[in-house]
Structure 1
Protein backbone atom coordinates (compact mmCIF):
# COMPACT_ATOMS: atom_id res chain seq x y z
CA UNK A 1 0.00 0.00 0.00
CA UNK A 2 2.83 2.33 0.90
CA UNK A 3 4.60 1.50 -2.36
CA UNK A 4 1.45 2.28 -4.34
CA UNK A 5 1.15 5.60 -2.56
CA UNK A 6 4.74 6.47 -3.48
CA UNK A 7 4.13 5.54 -7.11
CA UNK A 8 1.07 7.79 -7.20
CA UNK A 9 3.01 10.67 -5.63
CA UNK A 10 5.83 10.29 -8.12
CA UNK A 11 3.33 10.14 -11.01
CA UNK A 12 1.62 13.32 -9.81
CA UNK A 13 4.93 15.14 -9.40
CA UNK A 14 6.17 14.06 -12.82
CA UNK A 15 2.84 14.97 -14.37
CA UNK A 16 3.04 18.41 -12.79
CA UNK A 17 6.56 18.91 -14.08
CA UNK A 18 5.54 17.88 -17.58
CA UNK A 19 2.55 20.21 -17.56
CA UNK A 20 4.75 23.02 -16.25
CA UNK A 21 7.36 22.41 -18.94
CA UNK A 22 4.63 22.32 -21.58
CA UNK A 23 3.23 25.66 -20.42
CA UNK A 24 6.68 27.27 -20.29
CA UNK A 25 7.34 26.15 -23.84
CA UNK A 26 3.93 27.45 -24.92
CA UNK A 27 4.59 30.85 -23.32
CA UNK A 28 7.92 31.10 -25.12
CA UNK A 29 6.34 30.17 -28.45
CA UNK A 30 3.52 32.71 -27.91
CA UNK A 31 6.10 35.43 -27.31
CA UNK A 32 8.08 34.44 -30.41
CA UNK A 33 4.92 34.34 -32.51
CA UNK A 34 3.85 37.78 -31.29
CA UNK A 35 7.21 39.21 -32.37
CA UNK A 36 6.92 37.67 -35.81
CA UNK A 37 3.37 38.62 -36.80
CA UNK A 38 2.63 41.68 -38.88
CA UNK A 39 -0.73 43.08 -39.95
CA UNK A 40 -0.99 46.11 -42.19
CA UNK A 41 1.68 48.56 -43.27
CA UNK A 42 3.60 48.51 -39.99
CA UNK A 43 3.89 46.26 -36.99
CA UNK A 44 0.98 46.58 -34.53
CA UNK A 45 1.62 48.56 -31.37
CA UNK A 46 1.11 45.33 -29.44
CA UNK A 47 0.33 41.70 -30.23
CA UNK A 48 -0.94 39.01 -27.88
CA UNK A 49 -0.94 35.35 -28.95
CA UNK A 50 -2.77 32.53 -27.15
CA UNK A 51 -2.01 29.02 -28.43
CA UNK A 52 -4.94 26.72 -27.72
CA UNK A 53 -4.83 23.00 -27.10
CA UNK A 54 -2.81 20.62 -24.93
CA UNK A 55 -0.16 19.35 -24.99
CA UNK A 56 1.65 22.19 -26.70
CA UNK A 57 4.86 20.26 -27.33
CA UNK A 58 3.10 17.60 -29.38
CA UNK A 59 1.60 20.25 -31.64
CA UNK A 60 4.90 22.12 -31.88
CA UNK A 61 6.71 18.95 -32.93
CA UNK A 62 4.44 18.80 -35.95
CA UNK A 63 4.95 22.53 -36.62
CA UNK A 64 1.23 23.16 -36.61
CA UNK A 65 -1.53 24.21 -34.21
CA UNK A 66 -5.25 23.56 -34.42
CA UNK A 67 -6.25 26.97 -33.05
CA UNK A 68 -4.51 30.21 -32.10
CA UNK A 69 -6.16 33.38 -30.79
CA UNK A 70 -4.45 36.67 -31.67
CA UNK A 71 -5.18 40.17 -30.41
CA UNK A 72 -3.63 43.22 -32.09
CA UNK A 73 -3.82 46.84 -30.98
CA UNK A 74 -2.80 49.86 -33.02
CA UNK A 75 -2.86 48.24 -36.47
CA UNK A 76 -2.23 50.61 -39.38
CA UNK A 77 -3.70 49.86 -42.79
CA UNK A 78 -4.50 52.03 -45.79
CA UNK A 79 -7.95 53.27 -46.77
CA UNK A 80 -8.28 55.02 -50.11
CA UNK A 81 -4.61 55.95 -50.05
CA UNK A 82 -4.83 57.33 -46.51
CA UNK A 83 -3.52 55.65 -43.37
CA UNK A 84 -6.18 54.48 -40.95
CA UNK A 85 -5.57 53.12 -37.49
CA UNK A 86 -7.46 50.03 -36.33
CA UNK A 87 -7.81 50.41 -32.59
CA UNK A 88 -8.14 46.70 -31.89
CA UNK A 89 -8.31 43.52 -33.93
CA UNK A 90 -9.14 40.06 -32.57
CA UNK A 91 -8.79 36.96 -34.71
CA UNK A 92 -9.08 33.22 -34.25
CA UNK A 93 -6.74 31.27 -36.51
CA UNK A 94 -7.25 27.62 -37.47
CA UNK A 95 -4.84 25.07 -38.95
CA UNK A 96 -1.82 27.26 -38.19
CA UNK A 97 1.61 26.44 -39.59
CA UNK A 98 4.90 27.67 -38.11
CA UNK A 99 8.08 29.22 -39.42
CA UNK A 100 11.45 27.68 -38.54
CA UNK A 101 11.70 30.21 -35.71
CA UNK A 102 8.35 29.09 -34.24
CA UNK A 103 6.55 32.16 -35.52
CA UNK A 104 3.13 31.98 -37.16
CA UNK A 105 3.56 31.65 -40.91
CA UNK A 106 0.00 31.18 -42.15
CA UNK A 107 -3.44 29.98 -41.16
CA UNK A 108 -5.74 27.70 -43.11
CA UNK A 109 -8.66 29.89 -42.06
CA UNK A 110 -9.29 32.90 -39.85
CA UNK A 111 -12.17 34.96 -38.55
CA UNK A 112 -12.38 37.97 -36.29
CA UNK A 113 -13.36 41.58 -35.80
CA UNK A 114 -11.60 44.93 -36.13
CA UNK A 115 -12.58 48.09 -34.25
CA UNK A 116 -12.03 51.51 -35.85
CA UNK A 117 -12.54 54.46 -33.50
CA UNK A 118 -14.68 57.24 -34.95
CA UNK A 119 -11.92 59.91 -34.88
CA UNK A 120 -9.74 57.52 -36.90
CA UNK A 121 -12.58 56.91 -39.36
CA UNK A 122 -13.04 60.66 -39.75
CA UNK A 123 -9.32 61.11 -40.39
CA UNK A 124 -9.40 58.39 -43.05
CA UNK A 125 -12.45 59.91 -44.74
CA UNK A 126 -10.46 62.77 -46.22
CA UNK A 127 -13.37 65.07 -45.40
CA UNK A 128 -13.43 68.08 -43.12
CA UNK A 129 -16.00 66.36 -40.95
CA UNK A 130 -16.57 64.76 -37.57
CA UNK A 131 -17.89 61.23 -37.19
CA UNK A 132 -19.72 59.89 -34.13
CA UNK A 133 -22.26 57.24 -33.23
CA UNK A 134 -25.77 58.34 -34.19
CA UNK A 135 -27.72 55.55 -32.49
CA UNK A 136 -29.66 52.61 -33.94
CA UNK A 137 -26.66 51.44 -35.97
CA UNK A 138 -26.23 54.80 -37.72
CA UNK A 139 -23.35 57.25 -37.95
CA UNK A 140 -23.65 60.93 -37.15
CA UNK A 141 -21.50 62.90 -39.58
CA UNK A 142 -21.07 66.64 -39.13
CA UNK A 143 -19.57 68.96 -41.74
CA UNK A 144 -19.60 72.62 -42.69
CA UNK A 145 -20.11 74.30 -46.08
CA UNK A 146 -19.49 77.92 -47.12
CA UNK A 147 -22.52 79.73 -48.56
CA UNK A 148 -22.65 83.46 -49.24
CA UNK A 149 -19.63 84.13 -47.06
CA UNK A 150 -20.78 82.19 -44.04
CA UNK A 151 -20.35 78.62 -42.85
CA UNK A 152 -23.38 76.41 -42.43
CA UNK A 153 -22.79 73.36 -40.25
CA UNK A 154 -25.00 70.35 -40.78
CA UNK A 155 -25.19 66.97 -39.03
CA UNK A 156 -26.69 64.01 -40.84
CA UNK A 157 -27.52 60.44 -39.92
CA UNK A 158 -25.66 58.13 -42.26
CA UNK A 159 -25.78 54.46 -43.13
CA UNK A 160 -22.53 52.55 -43.32
CA UNK A 161 -22.30 49.56 -45.66
CA UNK A 162 -19.70 47.22 -47.12
CA UNK A 163 -19.14 47.27 -50.88
CA UNK A 164 -17.27 44.62 -52.92
CA UNK A 165 -15.90 42.98 -49.79
CA UNK A 166 -13.22 45.64 -49.25
CA UNK A 167 -14.79 49.12 -49.27
CA UNK A 168 -16.52 50.97 -46.43
CA UNK A 169 -19.26 53.25 -47.76
CA UNK A 170 -20.89 56.06 -45.75
CA UNK A 171 -23.98 57.77 -47.15
CA UNK A 172 -26.31 60.32 -45.52
CA UNK A 173 -29.87 59.03 -45.29
CA UNK A 174 -31.25 62.53 -45.76
CA UNK A 175 -29.83 66.05 -46.01
CA UNK A 176 -31.94 69.02 -44.86
CA UNK A 177 -32.08 71.31 -47.90
CA UNK A 178 -33.89 74.28 -46.36
CA UNK A 179 -34.72 75.55 -49.85
CA UNK A 180 -31.14 76.46 -50.68
CA UNK A 181 -30.24 75.29 -54.22
CA UNK A 182 -27.24 72.98 -54.27
CA UNK A 183 -27.01 72.68 -50.48
CA UNK A 184 -27.57 68.92 -50.43
CA UNK A 185 -24.74 68.30 -52.88
CA UNK A 186 -22.37 70.52 -50.92
CA UNK A 187 -23.20 68.80 -47.62
CA UNK A 188 -22.79 65.37 -49.16
CA UNK A 189 -19.38 66.40 -50.45
CA UNK A 190 -18.40 66.72 -46.79
CA UNK A 191 -20.27 63.77 -45.29
CA UNK A 192 -20.42 60.98 -47.90
CA UNK A 193 -17.36 58.89 -48.69
CA UNK A 194 -16.05 55.49 -49.80
CA UNK A 195 -12.81 54.08 -48.45
CA UNK A 196 -11.23 50.89 -49.73
CA UNK A 197 -9.34 49.05 -46.99
CA UNK A 198 -5.88 47.86 -48.05
CA UNK A 199 -2.99 46.24 -46.23
CA UNK A 200 -4.77 43.42 -44.42
CA UNK A 201 -2.96 40.08 -44.47
CA UNK A 202 -3.14 38.28 -47.79
CA UNK A 203 -6.18 36.03 -47.83
CA UNK A 204 -8.28 38.17 -45.47
CA UNK A 205 -11.37 40.09 -46.54
CA UNK A 206 -14.12 42.16 -44.96
CA UNK A 207 -17.52 40.50 -44.59
CA UNK A 208 -19.57 42.89 -42.44
CA UNK A 209 -19.50 46.42 -41.05
CA UNK A 210 -21.54 47.76 -38.15
CA UNK A 211 -21.71 51.09 -36.31
CA UNK A 212 -21.66 50.70 -32.53
CA UNK A 213 -21.25 53.09 -29.61
CA UNK A 214 -17.54 52.31 -29.18
CA UNK A 215 -16.65 52.55 -32.88
CA UNK A 216 -17.05 50.95 -36.27
CA UNK A 217 -16.85 47.16 -36.00
CA UNK A 218 -15.66 45.33 -39.11
CA UNK A 219 -15.93 41.55 -39.39
CA UNK A 220 -13.09 39.84 -41.24
CA UNK A 221 -12.64 36.30 -42.52
CA UNK A 222 -9.94 34.59 -44.50
CA UNK A 223 -8.57 31.47 -46.14
CA UNK A 224 -4.89 30.59 -46.43
CA UNK A 225 -3.94 33.75 -44.53
CA UNK A 226 -0.27 34.85 -44.51
CA UNK A 227 0.85 36.38 -41.22
CA UNK A 228 4.64 36.10 -41.05
CA UNK A 229 6.55 39.40 -40.93
CA UNK A 230 9.25 40.13 -43.42
Structure 2
Protein backbone atom coordinates (compact mmCIF):
# COMPACT_ATOMS: atom_id res chain seq x y z
CA UNK A 1 0.00 0.00 0.00
CA UNK A 2 2.85 2.37 0.88
CA UNK A 3 4.53 1.63 -2.47
CA UNK A 4 1.28 2.27 -4.34
CA UNK A 5 0.77 5.54 -2.50
CA UNK A 6 4.35 6.58 -3.34
CA UNK A 7 3.79 5.75 -7.02
CA UNK A 8 0.59 7.78 -7.08
CA UNK A 9 2.36 10.74 -5.53
CA UNK A 10 5.12 10.49 -8.13
CA UNK A 11 2.59 10.27 -10.97
CA UNK A 12 0.76 13.37 -9.71
CA UNK A 13 4.05 15.18 -9.16
CA UNK A 14 5.50 14.44 -12.57
CA UNK A 15 2.13 15.00 -14.19
CA UNK A 16 1.97 18.44 -12.58
CA UNK A 17 5.52 19.22 -13.69
CA UNK A 18 4.66 18.15 -17.25
CA UNK A 19 1.57 20.35 -17.31
CA UNK A 20 3.54 23.28 -15.91
CA UNK A 21 6.29 22.79 -18.48
CA UNK A 22 3.67 22.45 -21.22
CA UNK A 23 2.00 25.73 -20.26
CA UNK A 24 5.31 27.61 -20.00
CA UNK A 25 6.31 26.35 -23.45
CA UNK A 26 2.87 27.32 -24.79
CA UNK A 27 3.06 30.90 -23.52
CA UNK A 28 6.58 31.26 -24.94
CA UNK A 29 5.45 29.91 -28.31
CA UNK A 30 2.42 32.24 -28.44
CA UNK A 31 4.74 35.19 -27.78
CA UNK A 32 7.14 34.07 -30.52
CA UNK A 33 4.35 33.55 -33.06
CA UNK A 34 2.95 37.00 -32.24
CA UNK A 35 6.38 38.57 -32.81
CA UNK A 36 6.82 36.85 -36.16
CA UNK A 37 3.35 37.86 -37.36
CA UNK A 38 4.00 41.44 -36.29
CA UNK A 39 7.27 41.48 -38.24
CA UNK A 40 5.96 39.73 -41.36
CA UNK A 41 2.81 41.88 -41.62
CA UNK A 42 4.32 45.23 -40.58
CA UNK A 43 1.89 45.72 -37.69
CA UNK A 44 2.32 48.54 -35.20
CA UNK A 45 1.30 46.44 -32.19
CA UNK A 46 1.61 42.83 -31.07
CA UNK A 47 -1.24 40.57 -32.18
CA UNK A 48 -2.91 38.35 -29.61
CA UNK A 49 -2.18 34.68 -30.35
CA UNK A 50 -3.94 31.64 -28.87
CA UNK A 51 -2.62 28.16 -29.65
CA UNK A 52 -5.28 25.54 -29.05
CA UNK A 53 -4.93 21.87 -28.24
CA UNK A 54 -3.45 19.95 -25.32
CA UNK A 55 -0.81 18.95 -24.70
CA UNK A 56 1.14 21.58 -26.58
CA UNK A 57 4.51 19.80 -26.39
CA UNK A 58 3.25 16.83 -28.38
CA UNK A 59 2.27 19.23 -31.16
CA UNK A 60 5.77 20.67 -31.05
CA UNK A 61 7.25 17.18 -31.30
CA UNK A 62 5.49 16.64 -34.61
CA UNK A 63 6.16 20.25 -35.76
CA UNK A 64 2.47 20.91 -36.43
CA UNK A 65 -0.01 23.07 -34.53
CA UNK A 66 -3.62 22.06 -35.06
CA UNK A 67 -5.38 25.37 -34.49
CA UNK A 68 -4.10 28.91 -33.91
CA UNK A 69 -6.32 31.97 -33.35
CA UNK A 70 -5.03 35.50 -33.94
CA UNK A 71 -6.53 38.88 -33.06
CA UNK A 72 -4.94 41.84 -34.83
CA UNK A 73 -4.77 45.52 -33.95
CA UNK A 74 -3.06 48.23 -35.95
CA UNK A 75 -4.88 47.28 -39.15
CA UNK A 76 -6.17 50.11 -41.32
CA UNK A 77 -7.67 50.90 -44.69
CA UNK A 78 -6.53 53.80 -46.85
CA UNK A 79 -8.46 55.98 -49.27
CA UNK A 80 -6.91 58.99 -50.98
CA UNK A 81 -4.18 59.17 -48.36
CA UNK A 82 -6.66 59.03 -45.47
CA UNK A 83 -6.37 56.17 -42.95
CA UNK A 84 -9.54 54.38 -41.83
CA UNK A 85 -9.46 52.13 -38.75
CA UNK A 86 -10.35 48.47 -39.18
CA UNK A 87 -11.60 46.74 -36.01
CA UNK A 88 -12.30 43.22 -34.76
CA UNK A 89 -9.74 41.61 -37.05
CA UNK A 90 -9.58 37.87 -36.46
CA UNK A 91 -7.81 34.97 -38.16
CA UNK A 92 -7.98 31.24 -37.46
CA UNK A 93 -5.12 29.15 -38.81
CA UNK A 94 -5.29 25.38 -39.26
CA UNK A 95 -2.43 22.87 -39.60
CA UNK A 96 0.42 25.27 -38.91
CA UNK A 97 3.71 23.56 -39.72
CA UNK A 98 7.18 24.85 -38.86
CA UNK A 99 10.75 23.79 -39.50
CA UNK A 100 13.25 22.41 -36.99
CA UNK A 101 14.70 25.87 -36.31
CA UNK A 102 11.23 27.39 -35.72
CA UNK A 103 12.21 30.23 -38.10
CA UNK A 104 9.58 29.44 -40.73
CA UNK A 105 5.92 28.57 -40.30
CA UNK A 106 3.06 28.06 -42.73
CA UNK A 107 -0.66 27.54 -42.11
CA UNK A 108 -2.31 25.02 -44.41
CA UNK A 109 -5.56 27.00 -44.35
CA UNK A 110 -6.92 30.16 -42.77
CA UNK A 111 -10.17 32.04 -42.31
CA UNK A 112 -10.28 35.72 -41.49
CA UNK A 113 -12.80 38.39 -40.56
CA UNK A 114 -12.79 42.13 -39.96
CA UNK A 115 -15.15 45.07 -39.45
CA UNK A 116 -15.25 48.77 -40.27
CA UNK A 117 -17.75 50.78 -38.23
CA UNK A 118 -19.84 53.53 -39.80
CA UNK A 119 -18.09 56.05 -37.57
CA UNK A 120 -14.73 54.99 -39.01
CA UNK A 121 -16.13 54.78 -42.53
CA UNK A 122 -17.30 58.39 -42.22
CA UNK A 123 -13.64 59.40 -41.91
CA UNK A 124 -13.21 58.60 -45.61
CA UNK A 125 -16.38 60.42 -46.75
CA UNK A 126 -16.49 64.04 -47.99
CA UNK A 127 -16.30 66.57 -45.15
CA UNK A 128 -19.74 67.32 -43.78
CA UNK A 129 -21.14 63.91 -44.75
CA UNK A 130 -21.75 60.87 -42.57
CA UNK A 131 -21.97 57.22 -43.62
CA UNK A 132 -24.62 55.09 -41.95
CA UNK A 133 -27.02 52.19 -42.12
CA UNK A 134 -29.27 52.33 -45.18
CA UNK A 135 -32.12 50.20 -43.80
CA UNK A 136 -32.99 46.52 -44.15
CA UNK A 137 -33.93 46.51 -47.85
CA UNK A 138 -30.92 48.48 -49.05
CA UNK A 139 -28.57 46.60 -46.71
CA UNK A 140 -29.70 43.41 -48.42
CA UNK A 141 -28.30 44.97 -51.60
CA UNK A 142 -25.07 45.84 -49.77
CA UNK A 143 -25.77 49.57 -49.79
CA UNK A 144 -24.83 52.22 -47.24
CA UNK A 145 -26.29 55.70 -46.77
CA UNK A 146 -24.29 58.90 -47.19
CA UNK A 147 -25.98 62.07 -45.96
CA UNK A 148 -25.38 65.58 -44.68
CA UNK A 149 -26.29 69.25 -45.17
CA UNK A 150 -26.06 69.75 -48.93
CA UNK A 151 -24.06 72.97 -48.76
CA UNK A 152 -21.49 71.46 -46.38
CA UNK A 153 -21.14 68.24 -48.36
CA UNK A 154 -20.66 70.13 -51.62
CA UNK A 155 -18.02 72.30 -49.99
CA UNK A 156 -16.38 69.21 -48.48
CA UNK A 157 -16.20 67.68 -51.93
CA UNK A 158 -14.47 70.82 -53.20
CA UNK A 159 -17.44 72.01 -55.21
CA UNK A 160 -17.80 75.78 -55.35
CA UNK A 161 -21.40 76.95 -55.26
CA UNK A 162 -22.14 80.15 -57.25
CA UNK A 163 -23.93 82.84 -55.29
CA UNK A 164 -27.31 82.55 -57.09
CA UNK A 165 -27.51 78.86 -56.19
CA UNK A 166 -26.60 79.09 -52.51
CA UNK A 167 -30.12 80.06 -51.47
CA UNK A 168 -31.43 76.88 -53.14
CA UNK A 169 -29.32 74.76 -50.79
CA UNK A 170 -30.53 76.23 -47.50
CA UNK A 171 -32.12 73.56 -45.35
CA UNK A 172 -31.59 70.83 -47.93
CA UNK A 173 -29.99 67.47 -47.09
CA UNK A 174 -27.94 65.44 -49.52
CA UNK A 175 -28.75 61.73 -49.36
CA UNK A 176 -27.07 59.15 -51.55
CA UNK A 177 -26.82 55.37 -51.40
CA UNK A 178 -23.59 53.60 -52.27
CA UNK A 179 -23.20 49.94 -53.17
CA UNK A 180 -20.32 48.18 -51.42
CA UNK A 181 -18.27 45.45 -53.11
CA UNK A 182 -14.86 43.76 -52.84
CA UNK A 183 -12.07 43.95 -55.40
CA UNK A 184 -8.83 41.92 -55.54
CA UNK A 185 -9.43 40.39 -52.12
CA UNK A 186 -8.22 43.42 -50.15
CA UNK A 187 -10.07 46.47 -51.50
CA UNK A 188 -13.54 47.75 -50.52
CA UNK A 189 -15.25 49.66 -53.33
CA UNK A 190 -18.08 52.17 -52.78
CA UNK A 191 -20.08 53.37 -55.77
CA UNK A 192 -23.11 55.67 -55.59
CA UNK A 193 -26.19 53.99 -57.01
CA UNK A 194 -27.67 57.45 -57.66
CA UNK A 195 -27.28 61.07 -56.62
CA UNK A 196 -30.00 63.62 -55.86
CA UNK A 197 -30.45 66.82 -57.82
CA UNK A 198 -27.65 69.14 -56.71
CA UNK A 199 -28.94 72.43 -58.22
CA UNK A 200 -25.40 73.42 -59.25
CA UNK A 201 -24.30 73.04 -62.90
CA UNK A 202 -21.63 70.33 -63.29
CA UNK A 203 -21.78 69.39 -59.59
CA UNK A 204 -23.10 65.85 -60.03
CA UNK A 205 -20.01 64.58 -61.87
CA UNK A 206 -17.65 66.12 -59.31
CA UNK A 207 -19.74 64.83 -56.41
CA UNK A 208 -19.69 61.33 -57.84
CA UNK A 209 -15.89 61.47 -57.93
CA UNK A 210 -15.94 62.42 -54.24
CA UNK A 211 -18.34 59.71 -53.04
CA UNK A 212 -17.05 56.92 -55.31
CA UNK A 213 -13.83 55.65 -53.79
CA UNK A 214 -11.87 52.54 -52.85
CA UNK A 215 -10.60 51.51 -49.40
CA UNK A 216 -7.54 49.28 -49.48
CA UNK A 217 -7.20 47.21 -46.30
CA UNK A 218 -3.60 46.90 -45.14
CA UNK A 219 -2.22 44.57 -42.49
CA UNK A 220 -4.14 41.34 -43.02
CA UNK A 221 -2.02 38.21 -43.66
CA UNK A 222 -1.17 38.54 -47.34
CA UNK A 223 -2.51 35.10 -48.26
CA UNK A 224 -5.97 35.77 -46.78
CA UNK A 225 -8.20 37.08 -49.53
CA UNK A 226 -11.42 38.79 -48.46
CA UNK A 227 -14.26 37.29 -50.47
CA UNK A 228 -17.41 38.49 -48.70
CA UNK A 229 -18.66 41.84 -47.42
CA UNK A 230 -21.91 42.28 -45.51
CA UNK A 231 -23.64 45.55 -44.64
CA UNK A 232 -24.97 45.45 -41.06
CA UNK A 233 -26.62 48.01 -38.79
CA UNK A 234 -23.23 48.75 -37.16
CA UNK A 235 -20.90 48.80 -40.17
CA UNK A 236 -19.26 46.62 -42.79
CA UNK A 237 -18.29 43.04 -41.94
CA UNK A 238 -15.77 41.09 -44.01
CA UNK A 239 -14.81 37.45 -44.29
CA UNK A 240 -12.08 35.71 -46.24
CA UNK A 241 -10.06 32.54 -46.65
CA UNK A 242 -6.50 31.63 -47.51
CA UNK A 243 -4.18 28.68 -48.02
CA UNK A 244 -0.47 28.23 -47.36
CA UNK A 245 -0.34 31.39 -45.24
CA UNK A 246 3.25 32.31 -44.34
CA UNK A 247 3.95 33.42 -40.77
CA UNK A 248 7.67 33.97 -41.26
CA UNK A 249 9.22 37.27 -40.30
TM-score interval, smaller chain = 0.7 to 0.9
> What runs of 5+ residues in structure 2 fail to find an aligned partner?
155-159
> Cα deviations across residues 161-189 of structure 1 (Å, max 9, x unaligned)?
22343431223344332777655444433
Q: Give 1:33 deviation, angstroms.
A: 1.4
Distance of 2:78 and 2:179 partners within structure 1 = 22
Comparing 31-40 with 55-64, which one deviates more in the overlay? 31-40
> Which position in structure 2 is the counterpart of 1:141?
146
The question of whether the paired residues in 1 share the 8 Å contact of 2:195 and 2:204 is answered with yes
For 1:102 and 1:121, locate their aligned partners in 2 and report how far apart those are by CA, in whole Å: 39
Change (3 A) 1:172 1:95: same
Query: How many Å separate the matches in 1 of 2:80 and 2:242?
Result: 21
Matches within 5 A, 1:95-110: 95-98=95-98, 102=102, 105-110=105-110
CA contact (8 A) 1:69 1:92 kept: yes
SS at match of 1:10: helix
Residue 156 (structure 1) aligned with residue 176 (structure 2): yes
Partner of 1:147: helix, strand, or coil? Answer: coil
User: Matched residues in 1 for 2:67 and 2:90: separation?
Assistant: 13
Offset at residue 22 of structure 1 (A): 0.3
Q: 1:80·1:196 contact (CA, 8 Å) conserved in 2? A: no
Per-residue displacement from partner, 1:114-154 (whole Å, max 9, x unpaired)? 122334434456x4443233333342223612433436651
SS at match of 1:177: coil
SS state at 1:162 partner: strand
- What is the distance in 2 between the residues matched to 1:39 and 1:216? 27
Contact 1:157–1:173 under 8 Å retained in 2: yes
Cα distance in 2, alignment partners of residues 162 and 39 from structure 1? 27
With over 3 angstroms needed to count, the CA separation of the structure-2 counterparts of 1:76 and 1:177, relative to structure 1, is closer
Output the CA distance in 1 between the equivalents of 2:180 and 2:10: 62
Could you tell me how far 1:47 is from its partner in structure 2?
1.0
Q: In the TM superposition, what are the counterparts of 1:58-69 in structure 2 within 5 Å?
A: 58-69=58-69
- Structure 1 position 165 matched with structure 2 position 185: yes
> Greater Rg, structure 1 or structure 2?
2
2:104 and 2:234 map into 1 onto residues whose CA distance is: 30
Q: Gaps spanning 5+ residues in structure 1: where?
A: none
More helix by share: 2
The DSSP-based 3-state class of the residue aligned with 2:197 is: coil
Q: How does 1:1-16 map to 2 (within 5 A)?
A: 1-16=1-16
- Alignment: residue pair count: 228
- Worse overlay, 29-38 or 150-159: 150-159
Structure whose residues are more often strand by fraction: 1
Cα deviation for residue 56 of structure 1 reads 0.9
TM-score (norm 1): 0.80
1:219 maps to what in 2?
Answer: 239
| Residue 188 in structure 1 maps to residue 208 in structure 2 | yes
Quick one: distance in 1 between partners of 2:40 and 2:175? 32
Q: Compute the TM-score of the two structures, normalised by the length of structure 2.
A: 0.75
